[in-house]
Structure 1
């Protein structure tokens, strides 16, 4: 009975660990989905605003032309058709697809992290399960990385390293993986690793690199805080000490 009980306890403990890992992954996925919904809602608002502005401009132009030249029914219908076409074009251009983040040199660090987060969320479903788990770990670390990066200049060397990882290297890795036909993904390379294994290892390396950058910046903030505290203490600490009681002298 003792052996059976021990085996049962081990099985239960193993199941608890597996369920805890699954719960952690599901929590990361839910958090990433929530952030993506917020971005989509914000993007929808901007798209509707652009459509409204475009339709307004076309309407004003039609009215202005009508005051000078009679446009007639066909001119009015042409203006309506133009407005509908522009609105449809703007609506379609606001759609999301799996594509590397479009990053300009003047894009702030915080928005850079958001675009990379959105890209990971959209690309996740096309990846194998082990890579999805690695993407979940990477996504879970992005909110903290964003808070750190948005406080430092875009041209900071650490920020530049993070931007290259999020805009070039990691999206390029995933895009190249998606371009490989499924029939060839089981082939092994010179190190006896298949495509899926190489993808997981590269994603893990990128995640660790971003984590190191975030930790380096956080430790720099801690060091700056400590230096500032020591300076204030050494400069003003003695002035704040209570004056000696002269009656006791």
Structure 2
């Protein structure tokens, strides 16, 4: 292979890695956007259900009261106004607040990834565009990590490391950035701007969450591999064909 061919191969490999990273980033952003839409739809549906339930209770109470004391025109109007007021109050009520940084340090380990993801989502609008992409990728990593945490009983050291990373260090790091005055976030300091520092730190955290997930799944991976070899030895015939 000539030097030109080698350069072409290296260029192709580089382009393939860039393309793979881009697809991964776009996939994470697409999934994160889908989750945001789903949460919004769920919130709207819950509000509508609550409005319907409260108005139904008002109508039932009015009907029972009407059997004892006739409500008349003004009574019926009062009921309608009450229903309208309740509907408006529920519709404009603020959404549930994201968990606080203190709550993340105290929440049950099994609920920690979902709570951290909600906390990160609340910080997302204040972050620069590259960091928002990293937040989406971290959200995907947390979603993958979550099922693994249900099997951490008796593995206190690993549970401590998970809690320390996503319940303490991640929020503290993002909050450190948030305290930097906005005009200074794009000013280079020690060779890097705070915006770039934020993205680099989030990349490290994302990779560490991925590594944690792999370590926690190691027993399952070993079990799968062992069972696969057992099945090959037990059921494959002498010629190696099925």
TM-score range, shorter chain: 0.5 to 0.7
Quote the residue 1:64 is aligned against: 64
Cα pair distance change 1:108/1:8, threshold 3 Å: closer
1:19-46 CA distances to partner (integer Å, 9 max, x unpaired)? 4332221111112222333333333333
Deviation at 1:92, TM superposition (A): 3.2
**Structure 2 residue 142 is matched with structure 1 residue 142:** yes
Q: Bigger shift: 155-164 or 36-45? A: 155-164
Distance across 1 between alignment mates of 2:7 and 2:221: 47
Alignment of 1:112-123 (within 5 A): 112-121=112-121, 123=123
Distance across 1 between alignment mates of 2:145 and 2:118: 15
Quote the residue 1:195 is aligned against: 194
Task: Judge conservation of contact 2:99–2:115 (CA < 8 Å) in 1.
Answer: no
Distance across 2 between alignment mates of 1:132 and 1:156: 32
Q: TM-score, normalised by structure 1?
A: 0.64
Alignment of 1:28-43 (within 5 A): 28-43=28-43
Q: How many matched pairs? A: 225
Task: Judge conservation of contact 2:131–2:199 (CA < 8 Å) in 1.
Answer: yes
Q: TM-score, normalised by structure 2?
A: 0.65
1:89-148 CA distances to partner (integer Å, 9 max, x unpaired)? 333346478775876967682x54334334545644542244234324323322321221
Distance across 1 between alignment mates of 2:65 and 2:104: 40
Cα pair distance change 1:159/1:34, threshold 3 Å: farther
Distance across 2 between alignment mates of 1:95 and 1:12: 48
Larger Rg: 1
Quote the residue 2:91 is aligned against: 91
Distance across 1 between alignment mates of 2:109 and 2:73: 48
Cα RMSD for the two superposed structures: 4.4
Distance across 2 between alignment mates of 1:202 and 1:177: 11
Quote the residue 2:235 is aligned against: none
1:190-228 CA distances to partner (integer Å, 9 max, x unpaired)? x564322332243234334433443342235567x59xx
Q: Bigger shift: 191-200 or 52-61? A: 191-200
